[in-house]
A and B are shown apart, each in its own frame.
Chain A
Amino acid sequence: MYPEFLPDPNPLYRNALREKLERIDMLARRTRIAIPEFYVGSILAVTYSEPHAPGKVNKFVGICIERNGSGLRSSFLLRNIVDNQGIEVCYELYDPAIQKIDCLRLEKRLDSHLRYLRDAPAKYSTFPFDLEPEFLPEGASVPVNDIKVPLNGLPWLEKWERQELKGIIIKGVTFSKKRNAKTKISAKPWEKYDLMKIYRETIPEEEQNEIFNEVYTKLHEIEITKRRLKHKRTFIRPQKTG
């Protein structure tokens, strides 16, 4: 639920003290702003202060296609199509300029990233800016959207056929003989059995428990105050007229 609390597994970037300080800062930020639970494939609305806009506030709605980074540097990438123009905006999760993050539709997809939507028809990444938030019943698990996205013809931005993606349909695309041969060479079907590789790329469970135990009580408190505030009436600043 909180993947950004886990540090980067690469031992070159590990530093216990820095990680601890970052966690304190993240919790401090979370007391100020409600960061909802979301996954790759969820639809988010981000309201942030934009010094370049006339009203100094801007809002962007889009599907989360990628989550990157860990700790204070964690970020997510939103994609939408506005006026037939694909637009992607990267936001940092703990950016102090962000005023509000709303999860309009909470769901998961079959893949760990949805960058292939760049090469898919426009309807798969078009979301209206006035989308109503959908609420799941309390205690329900996060639904998995098992939609399969057909891709456009070549050329593509990445070699999707090599990435073992579950959420795409490659149909009506003919690869050259050379490309097929290279796909066969670069395939690594044994990698999912490589325990050492999995160990190197993830934080061990004992360490995860240690980190989550540290932050859990604080996060729980934040959750309770958030729920209490939801029932309270919010103060709406009266508009200046005349």
Chain B
Amino acid sequence: MLEGKPPRCIHIYNKVGVGYIGDRILVAICGEKKKGILVGLKQVQAPKVPKFDTNNLVLIDDNGTPLGTRIQVPIPHILRTKMKEKTHSKGADYTKLIAIASRFI
């Protein structure tokens, strides 16, 4: 999201309360509540995991399908494994998010 008011995180769906890479969060964006996946973080990362200059988010619906059709920023490779672990046969399906990524780093 390059223009407009940046989205604001209002909840993180994990038990720590701190959003890490691959976590699902709830954001307030354009006056609506939307869910998203954290795909890049500003915080200090483990060795070999990229640290980004901005916090990046991909908006998804309840089934885990991304709302958009393209991801313009690079996606860390570790997200593949993280999202595969979180995908369940009858629950959320995050394979589409990985599929639309344009570049991995």
Residue-wise interface mask of A (85-108) relative to B, using a CB-CB cutoff of 8 A (1 in contact, 0 not): 111111110010100000000000
Shortest CB distance A100–B (Å): 14
Question: Are B105 and A82 in contact (CB-based, < 8 A)?
Answer: yes
Which A residues lie within 8 Å of B56 (CB)?
Answer: 85
**Residue on B with the closest CB to A77?**
B51
Residue-wise interface mask of A (62-92) relative to B, using a CB-CB cutoff of 8 A (1 in contact, 0 not): 0000000000000100000011011111111
Question: Are A91 and B51 in contact (CB-based, < 8 A)?
Answer: no
Which B residues lie within 8 Å of A188 (CB)?
Answer: none
Which A residues lie within 8 Å of B74 (CB)?
Answer: 82-83, 85, 87
Question: Are A52 and B47 in contact (CB-based, < 8 A)?
Answer: no
Which B residues lie within 8 Å of A92 (CB)?
Answer: 47
**How many residues from B make CB contacts under 8 Å with A?**
23
Which A residues lie within 8 Å of B104 (CB)?
Answer: 53
Which B residues lie within 8 Å of A48 (CB)?
Answer: 48
**Size class of the A contact interface (CB-based, 8 Å):** 20 to 34
Whole-angstrom CA separation of A144 from B72 in the bound complex = 36
Which B residues lie within 8 Å of A51 (CB)?
Answer: 81
Determine whether A50 belongs to the interface, using a CB cutoff of 8 Å to chain B: yes
Determine the main DSSP class of B at the interface with A: loop
Shortest CB distance B83–A (Å): 10
Given A52-B81, A82-B74, A85-B74, A75-B52 contact (CB < 8 Å): no
**Residue on B with the closest CB to A95?**
B47
Whole-angstrom CA separation of A89 from B40 in the bound complex = 12
Shortest CB distance B70–A (Å): 11
Determine whether B54 belongs to the interface, using a CB cutoff of 8 Å to chain A: yes
- Chain B residues engaging chain A, CB cutoff 8 angstroms: 40, 45, 47-54, 56, 72-74, 77-81, 102-105
- Chain A residues engaging chain B, CB cutoff 8 angstroms: 48, 50-53, 58, 60, 75, 82-83, 85-92, 95, 97, 118
Beyond the given pairs A53-B80, A60-B105, A83-B72, 18 more chain A to chain B contacts, judged by CB atoms under 8 angstroms and listed by A's residue number, are A50-B77, A51-B81, A53-B104, A83-B102, A83-B103, A85-B53, A85-B73, A85-B74, A86-B52, A87-B51, A87-B52, A88-B51, A88-B53, A90-B45, A90-B48, A91-B47, A92-B47, A118-B53
